[in-house]
Amino acid sequence: MRLIVDRDRCEGHGVCEGAAPDLLKLDEHGDLVLLADGELPPDLRQQAADSVLICPVAALKLEG
């Protein structure tokens, strides 16, 4: 399972960062940074799923 960011849709609201602090962070420019690239470890999959659900512009999705 991987977390995918649609950078064209992301508006930098940051609510996903609150839902997945071990996976996502907004940088100083308001751009979303993935802290875990590739296959998500099992202990972070719930955070990833929560971030997908909470994103107000549907810029996140899970694959795999």
CATH number at residue 31: 3.30.70.20
Q: Give the pLDDT score at 8.
A: 96
Give residue for tokens 């609510």.
15
Q: What is the dihedral of CA 26, 27, 29, 34, to 10 degrees?
A: -70
pLDDT of residue 3: 97
pLDDT for res 17: 96
Range of the domain at 34: 2-63
In the chain, how many domains are there? 1
pTM for the predicted model, two decimal places? 0.91
CA distances from 38 to 13, 30, 46 (A): 23, 22, 16
Instruction: Write the pLDDT tens digit of every residue in 23-55.
Output: 999 999 999 999 988 999 999 999 999 999 999
3-class SS of residue 24: strand
